Amino acid sequence: MFDKVLVANRGEIAVRVIRACQEIGVRTVAVHSDADRLSPHVLLAGEAVRIGPAPASESYLDMDAVIGAARETDAEAIHPGYGFMAESPEFARRVSDAGLVFIGPPAEAIAEMGNKTAARARMVEAGVPVVPGSDALVDAEQGRIEGDRIGWPVMLKAAAGGGGKGMRIVEGPDDLPRALDAAAREAGQAFGDSRVYLEKYLPDPRHIEIQVLADSFGRVVHLGERECSIQRRHQKLIEESPSVVVDADLREQMGGVAVAAAEAVGYVGAGTVEFLYQDENFFFLEMNTRIQVEHPVTEFVTGVDLVQEQIRVAAGLPLSVKVSADWPRGHAIECRISGEDPLGGFFPSSGTIRALEVPCGPGVRWDGGIMEHFEVGLHYDPLLGKLITHAPTRDEAILRMRRALRELQIEGVRTTQPFHLAVMDEPDFRSGKFSVRYIERHPDLLEPREDDWQARAAVVAAALLEHRSRAGGSPLQASTAASRPGHGISEWRRRLGSGG
């Protein structure tokens, strides 16, 4: 096992990796920009190294700075987390060339699965079902020819990346030229590669993915599926495991295809094979060659620590996973808590975390990258943390999530918490009748609810109470909110709810 690992990331995933290392006796090194010098991941790690100013291009995306920090601290390996350079074959190669271990798949596998058109071709060779599509387009005329062959409508997609960047739905050939220009421009800005390709547009699919693990001894296993259909602009918001539409037979069928996909590229480490599912058919979408944001739901229903397995495999050890016939055990749900205002078009919100109260109790997990007095800026992804619940049944997991969301308090920035609360009460979500068009079909979820107005009134009331106590109010008033503003907010919420 490694003695020391450098974590080349920030936020909640850096905290998650550091904790995983600490539990197996591995020392850790954090890297940070100037904006993150007092971030939780920096304070939690054994050592920390500044790698540049706030812009990611000058810090977290600076390969020389990150590799230099590993050398400076005598780290033996680098864990990239997700995002930033996690799926950069160049970074993986440069880490290896520096005599360090990249905790992830081989650079060749990253490159092959990162190029979406090449990945599609490789999956066809491996017998994996794929959505009908094209190679990278040369121009709009080729796009029209391919669109006629595939059948309109079609989806334009970036050849070098995912996450919703460079994606456009094209209803017919007349709409193609403008959409092609916009998609290519966005893909170039996001990935440095403006190539795009066409894929048959499925109007009402579910997004289901399979978690795989592979070691260097040739063993590849799958750990079941995650349902990721609750999305906005192709960005996942809520994930769960298992999926309500996947039975044991379909799970093994999809899992077998995912294992075949990993074996086809010589995969090693943790990865996710994503599928679109519609009308009882599933199609390969892409493979993410890294740990996923939503990995905790799989950990809950299998009991496997995916990050520790990543580290074991990178250290040259075999997988310790013992696949169980009783997986999945219970049901798990994850809500991504982001610094965005869902009532204002998910516009990013910045500010200082004035108070933070994290829910706890049986079957509740908080993976966070913030703390009180933490400054939330606009330099990085708005994800603040993830709230995950686990229970014997889906209904119980939803009720537990609703309770946990009501207990979670983040004061100082607007978050997606109200949206998640609304979803937990929505009948179609509760019954499992949804697809990737869920939010489009439920615009009311993005409208204020009575609870939202009560919460805002509570914040104002708590602020006034805090001001009065600091100005010399009565001891009772001061004690209500003196230690932490969140306590005062909780008290005012209780009074509002009871009519007090």
Look at 114 and 323; give whichever has higher pLDDT.
Answer: 323
Bridge partners of 338, per DSSP, are 383
CA dihedral in degrees (67, 72, 73, 74; nearest 10)? 80
As a whole number of angstroms, the distance between CA 214 and CA 266 comes to: 9
Q: What is the pLDDT of residue 165?
A: 81
As a whole number of angstroms, the distance between CA 424 and CA 398 comes to: 6
Q: What is the mean pLDDT of residues 304-329?
A: 97
Q: What is the pLDDT of residue 500?
A: 41
Position 309 pLDDT exceeds 60: yes
Phi-psi region of 224 (alpha: psi -120 to 50; beta: other; left: phi over 0): left
As a whole number of angstroms, the distance between CA 427 and CA 433 comes to: 9
Q: What is the mean pLDDT of residues 374-381?
A: 95
Residue 151, CA atoms < 13 Å, CB-side half-sphere = 6
From first CA to last CA, the distance across the chain in angstroms is: 58
Mean pLDDT of the chain: 91
Q: Which CATH superfamily is domain 132-200 in?
A: ATP-grasp fold, A domain (3.30.1490.20)
Position 477 pLDDT exceeds 50: no
Percentage of the chain exceeding pLDDT 70: 89
As a whole number of angstroms, the distance between CA 390 and CA 400 comes to: 8
Q: Per CATH, which fold does 4-103 belong to?
A: Rossmann fold (3.40.50)
89 prior amide bond cis, ω within 30: no
Position 382 pLDDT exceeds 50: yes
Position 452 pLDDT exceeds 70: no
Structure confidence at residue 487 as a pLDDT band (50, 70, 90): very low
CB-based burial, 24-52: b 16+ in 10 Å, e otherwise: eebbbbbbbbebbeebbbbebbebbbebb
Q: What is the mean pLDDT of residues 461-472?
A: 67
Residues 166-222 pLDDT 10s: 899 999 999 999 999 999 999 988 888 899 999 999 989 999 999 999 999 999 999
As a whole number of angstroms, the distance between CA 454 and CA 492 comes to: 9
Return the residue matching tokens 């490789």. Answer: 122
Position 494 pLDDT exceeds 80: no
Residues 75-121 pLDDT 10s: 999 999 999 999 999 999 999 999 999 999 999 999 999 888 888 88
Sign (positive or negative) of CA dihedral 136, 138, 139, 140: negative
Q: What is the pLDDT of residue 463?
A: 64
Q: Which entry of 290, 354, 365, 400 is annotated as an active-site residue?
A: 290
Which sequence spans correspond to the domains of the chain? 4-103, 132-200, 206-446, 454-497
Reduced 3-state DSSP string for the chain:
CCCEEEECCCHHHHHHHHHHHHHCCCEEEEEEEHHHCCCHHHHHCCEEEEEECCCHHHCCCCHHHHHHHHHHCCCCEEECCCCCCCCCHHHHHHHHHCCCEECCCCHHHHHHHHCHHHHHHHHHHCCCCECCEEEECCCHHHHHHHHHHHCCCEEEEECCCCCCCCCEEECCHHHHHHHHHHHHHHHHHHHCCCCEEEEECCCCCEEEEEEEEECCCCCEEEEEEEEEEEEECCEEEEEEECCCCCCHHHHHHHHHHHHHHHHHCCCCEEEEEEEEEECCEEEEEEEECCCCCCHHHHHHHHCCCHHHHHHHHHCCCCCCCCCCCCCCCCEEEEEEEECEEHHHCCEECCEECCEEECCCCCCEEEEECCCCCCEECCCCCCEEEEEEEEECCHHHHHHHHHHHHHHCEEECCCCCHHHHHHHHHCHHHHHCCCCCCHHHHCHHHHCCCHHHHHHHHHHHHHHHHHHHHHCCCCHHHHHHHCCCHHHHHHHHHHHHHCCC
In this structure, of 155-169, 312-326, 401-415, the range with the lowest mean pLDDT score is 155-169
Q: Which of 118-122, 164-168, 318-322 has the highest mean pLDDT?
A: 318-322
Q: What is the pLDDT of residue 163?
A: 66
Residues 136-149 pLDDT 10s: 999 999 999 999 99
Residues 243-291 pLDDT 10s: 999 999 999 999 999 999 999 999 999 999 999 999 999 999 899 999 9
Is 290 one of the catalytic residues? Answer: yes
CATH 3.40.50.300 fits domain 206-446: no
Residue 42, CA atoms < 13 Å, CB-side half-sphere = 16
From residue 174, give the alpha-carbon distance in Å to each of 148, 187, 414.
12, 21, 41
From residue 386, give the alpha-carbon distance in Å to each of 207, 335, 366, 408.
19, 6, 6, 11
Residue 117, CA atoms < 13 Å, CB-side half-sphere = 15
Q: What is the pLDDT of residue 489?
A: 44
As a whole number of angstroms, the distance between CA 262 and CA 213 comes to: 9
Q: What is the pLDDT of residue 475?
A: 46
Structure confidence at residue 409 as a pLDDT band (50, 70, 90): very high
Residues 330-368 pLDDT 10s: 999 999 999 999 999 999 999 999 999 999 999 999 999
Position 160 pLDDT exceeds 90: no
Q: What are phi and psi of 367, to 5 degrees?
A: -105, 100
Position 492 pLDDT exceeds 60: no
4-103 and 206-446 have identical folds: no
Residues 62-79 pLDDT 10s: 999 999 999 999 999 999
Residues 20-42 pLDDT 10s: 999 999 999 999 999 999 999 99
Return the residue matching tokens 């360090």. Answer: 100
* Among the listed residues 450, 379, 459, the one whose alpha carbon sits nearest the alpha carbon of residue 58: 379
CB-based burial, 256-267: b 16+ in 10 Å, e otherwise: ebbbebbebbeb
